[in-house]
Amino acid sequence: DAKTTQPNSMESNEEEPVHLPCNHSTISGTDYIHWYRQLPSQGPEYVIHGLTSNVNNRMASLAIAEDRKSSTLILHRATLRDAAVYYCILRDVSVGGGADGLTFGKGTHLIIQP
Amino acid sequence: DTGVSQDPRHKITKRGQNVTFRCDPISEHNRLYWYRQTLGQGPEFLTYFQNEAQLEKSRLLSDRFSAERPKGSFSTLEIQRTEQGDSAMYLCASSSRRGEEPQHFGDGTRLSIL
């Protein structure tokens, strides 16, 4: 799976929107963009994924750049429970790809101030 | 959906002992993955199964590590002759057949080697 680059940490205030960036300049046409988060003492939790179009679900929104070389995870109204490490991961789903495990980087440590 | 279950949650053992961890995936999921996570790092993929077939095991850290999924349901990860460096969180995840579908993680087994 191709590599992603994320800031080590970000800080935001409670009840404000949070935009978490991810760069993936070597993304291929068959790479889906996945986001997971990991709260302290828990396993990673799936947040959202997309291929080309922006995506929304109950947890977050995913904005994908037109050239697909970057994406942004948007938490519309952060709460203290959103404090976690957020991982941006590319997942190749071509024939023969997508079968192996996820490749996690160090992610972005999101700090939420009350 | 009872989620992915891992047992035990914590394991403390002496160096040189063998340990075995169990993972019960979400019942309808064909794919099961094992990861290891050390402090401050993202999870590291170890191996995965599709039903009872182990389709990737080259990432297992050494020949002391082995995994089984005999009936295509639960899985076990065994570490023989444990070493200090094996201290980590061992995570299990499962997913449905489609490659781009998200993985659902358990909360892991934390292994401490004395």
Higher pLDDT, A30 or A84: A84
B46-59 burial: b if 16+ Cβ within 10 Å, else e: bbbbbeeebebeeb
Helix (H, G, I), strand (E, B) or coil at B109: strand
Q: Decide if A15 touches B, using CB distance below 8 A.
A: no
- Residue A96 pLDDT > 80, yes or no? no
pLDDT at A97: 55
- Residue A5 pLDDT > 70, yes or no? yes
Are B48 and A99 a contacting pair at CB < 8 A?
A: yes
pLDDT at B1: 54
Tens digit of each residue's pLDDT (9 = 90 or more) over A77-95: 999 999 999 999 998 877 6
Residues in B 17-56 with any Cβ partner in A closer than 8 A: 33, 35, 40-48, 50, 55-56
pLDDT at B6: 98
Please give chain B's pLDDT, 114 residues, in tens.
Answer: 579 999 999 999 999 999 999 999 999 899 999 999 999 999 999 999 999 999 888 888 899 999 999 988 999 999 999 999 999 999 999 998 766 789 999 999 999 999
Helix (H, G, I), strand (E, B) or coil at B79: strand
Cβ pairs A/B, distance under 8 A: 64
CA distance B72 to B51: 4
- State the average pLDDT for chain A: 92
Number of other residues whose CB lies within 10 A of the CB of residue B35: 26
pLDDT at B97: 73
pLDDT at B61: 83
Q: Decide if A65 touches B, using CB distance below 8 A.
A: no
| pLDDT bucket at A1, cuts 50 / 70 / 90 | low
